[in-house]
Amino acid sequence: MRKVSIIGAGNVGSTLASLIALNELAHVVMVDVVQDMPKGKALDMMQMMAVFNNSIKIVGSNDYQDIKGSDIVVITAGIARKPGMSREDLLNTNSNIMKEVVENVRKYASNSIVIVVSNPLDVMTYLAYKILKNYGWNRFNVMGMAGVLDSARFKYFISEKLGVSLDNINALVLGSHGDTMVPVLTHTTISGIPIEKMLKKEELKELVERTRNGGAEIVSLLKTGSAYYAPAASTLEMIKSIIFDKKQILPVSVYCEGEYGYDDLVIGLPVVLGSKGIEKVVEIDLSDFEKEELNKSAQKIKQLCQELYTLNIV
């Protein structure tokens, strides 16, 4: 049985833990800084397993030693921006959390594939990779989860708009996990029919905007906290492709060395995901407009990553 460790037993982390366990994919360890809380959540989940006679083990811990031997480590630790906190303060705080987490991952789970979920996603993945590459990881086994979620949101909005089954829809969102993400219309199809033949320009524009705003829409309804069911499910999809060596093509945030013309940058691109992590970045044809949009997204990420150097974080 595989072992997946999740750092940060908050909303995304604990939802993911229960999904992994319910799907009987792997034993799960949740680590958090909050004293005892992960133990309480694990105990509750183990009792849920008892209801289903499911023998998956779920451990909650405040001790990183428990992540030893993990096949996959998912990082969801971080704090949300608080009132009065500048973006730089948030970047500083979450970068320090990421550094601490990654230091423990390299110490105790040196053979793991790392999936970053913490925001700001592209920057946190970049930071994790920059540290882990000094300890035997490569750019294909440190990655970020965002594109699967953003694509699922786009797919849901399309299905709702057209009143057609989700089964028939292939939606693709690339770029940064932010307002410059790029829903790729030329590769979004319904039963093979290009989306641009099914919806008018104005309708498509609305769906693209709603997708870009997908996280914020949920935040404004929840009042506190942010989305976690779909983010956890999207991470599960990546984990399944790795554990079962499915070699699915999924949009994943990957460190580029020349792909799509990008260097020294983490950005969401289609990749083949298998048991060793990312097997390759898939280069697809984009329209001139999409390429331009992806370049804007890349520039935005570059600016944010630059702050890591300005603030002496890396």
What residue ranges bind ligand A3D (CB under 6 A)?
7-13, 32-34, 76-79, 97, 100-101, 117-119, 121, 145-146, 149, 177, 225-228, 231
- Choose among 79, 130, 139: nearest CA to 103: 130
Q: Tell me how far, at minimum, the Cβ of 93 lies from ligand A3D, in Å.
A: 9
Please spell the DSSP secondary structure of 4-42, one letter per residue.
Answer: EEEE--SHHHHHHHHHHHHTT-EEEEEE-SSSSHHHHHH
CA dihedral 89, 95, 101, 102 (to 10 degrees): -170
Closer of 130 and 177 to ligand A3D (Cβ): 177
Given 177, 187, 212, 300, the catalytic residue:
177
Closer of 122 and 190 to ligand A3D (Cβ): 122
Beta bridge partners of 252: 269
Measured CA angle at 288 (ends 206, 212), to 5 deg? 30
Count Cβ atoms below 10 Å from residue 138 Cβ, excluding itself. Answer: 13
Residue 177 known to be catalytic = yes
- Choose among 75, 84, 78, 86: nearest CA to 311: 86
Closer of 117 and 190 to ligand A3D (Cβ): 117
Q: Tell me how far, at minimum, the Cβ of 197 lies from ligand A3D, in Å.
A: 30
Q: Are 111 and 252 in contact, with CB atoms under 8 Å apart? A: no
Closer of 207 and 227 to ligand A3D (Cβ): 227
Q: Tell me how far, at minimum, the Cβ of 171 lies from ligand A3D, in Å.
A: 15
Q: Can you give the C-alpha Rg of the chain in angstroms?
A: 19
Q: Tell me how far, at minimum, the Cβ of 84 lies from ligand A3D, in Å.
A: 18
The residues carrying an active-site annotation are: 177
